[in-house]
Structure 1
């Protein structure tokens, strides 16, 4: 069985930046998991003494607090900055952008629509910058339940969503409302990884998607791969691999989410190579 890697996969700019910040800021604590990858979080804790706090209520007595790549709500950030804690902001610049857009557009009287998962930490952070709140939706059905009072709408996306689904949301808004400002805040790495995953899944007969099971961008990659290759599986480590997945397969495609380091990808590829097909 041949093993083929996607043309674009793994660590994105924002994650690389956050990891480097954490490694250079030893004996610190992150507000929430720095990235959505438990294996890498464990490595940072064991090798650099970077601990993970659930929220800012646990930051009392902490010397250094690192803001996660997904960002945190605006009020929480302000509280930390005004405390005695040294704050190191590792929020991805691609996440900072929709935060700034929501704040600016709401100041200008626009109602804010965020395409994304309301429970995702990135979306919670972005939403907090909308002065009068925001509508968070994942489908046109949810969008149709909203009563817009001003008729001026600004829409942004969670950075790791599918482009095709964002287009559905924006097309619906544009055809139903007079003034709609669309800001494409899906990051470049998401575009590239999704396109590469789609291309790989079309030719492979089994695909392994590597990443945290709570990672939005990894789940999106898995969803795309399953559209074209039904035997697509999401794994966090080599322990999740099932030898039966590879029975009778000729080409195994491998891709990885933006929070997946190379050392995990390599371990999984080595394990797949050992499996007797």
Structure 2
């Protein structure tokens, strides 16, 4: 089986930065999973003693706490500060940006519209910076069905597809008297998505490596499926199945922004052995 890698894939700047912070801050706690890759989270715990805690009440005074890449809510951050813990902020700068925009625009009286998944930790964090409850939509259809005001500000979850953001922005421009649009999609996410789209047009089978709870990895899978029906998501080499490659000659591989090279390499080795 021949393999062709995407032009852009794997760890983004924000994830690399967070991993480096965690490795330097041994025996610390991350508030929520640092990144959306369970294998890498396990490695950090085993090798560096970095544990995950999702309840502020379970964190004691004086502990070292790392804020995850997806960020946390404003109230959770204040709770941690009140506890006098040692806080290291590993929130990705691309996530901090929409938090700041939402806080500023909501204070100026704009209705906040967030294009994203309201259950995702990044979006929950961004929502918390609004002075009034924001409107969160996941599609053009949802914004069309929603009640919107005349003065709105639009931001996006960092891992969403640009073309879908443009659809929502176009709708708001034609239905509101004033629309402020902020492109908060991560550049690395955009590059990875475009690379996945290009590669999926060339190959017989496509494998996307990443955590199954990762939004950006799911987006890569959805993009690949548009051009290559035989596209699959795997967390590691153990998920790779022999029957996927029967009658196929060329396999394309890409990986989510939270996927380390050591997992990608193992997946490549497994496929090359088929």
Scaled to the shorter chain, the TM-score interval is over 0.9
CA RMSD of aligned residues (A): 0.9
User: Alignment partner of 1:113: what SS?
Assistant: strand
Match of 2:231 in 1: 232
Q: Structure 1 pair 99/72, CA: closer, same or farther in 2 (3 Å)?
A: same
Question: 1:39-78 to 2 correspondence within 5 Å?
Answer: 39-61=39-61, 63-78=63-78
**How many pairs were matched up?**
274
Question: 1:1-277 to 2 correspondence within 5 Å?
Answer: 1-61=1-61, 63-149=63-149, 151-275=150-274
Deviating beyond 6 angstroms after TM superposition, the runs of 4 or more aligned structure 1 residues are none
User: Alignment partner of 1:208: what SS?
Assistant: strand
In structure 2, distance between residues paired with 1:74 and 1:5: 39
| Contact persistence 1:159–1:186 (CA under 8 A) | yes
Deviations 1:117-158 (A, max 9, x none): 000000000000011121000112221232234x11000000
| Contact persistence 1:29–1:62 (CA under 8 A) | no
| Contact persistence 2:140–2:164 (CA under 8 A) | no
| Contact persistence 2:33–2:68 (CA under 8 A) | yes
Unaligned runs of at least 5 residues, structure 2? none
Q: Give the drift of 1:62.
A: 6.0
Deviations 1:150-209 (A, max 9, x none): x11000000000111111111111111110000000010011000000000000010000
In structure 2, distance between residues paired with 1:36 and 1:55: 18
TM-score for the superposition, normalised by structure 1: 0.97
| Contact persistence 2:61–2:83 (CA under 8 A) | no
Unaligned runs of at least 5 residues, structure 1? none
| Of 223-232 and 164-173, the range deviating more from structure 2 | 164-173
In structure 2, distance between residues paired with 1:217 and 1:270: 24
| Contact persistence 1:205–1:251 (CA under 8 A) | yes
Q: Give the drift of 1:226.
A: 0.4
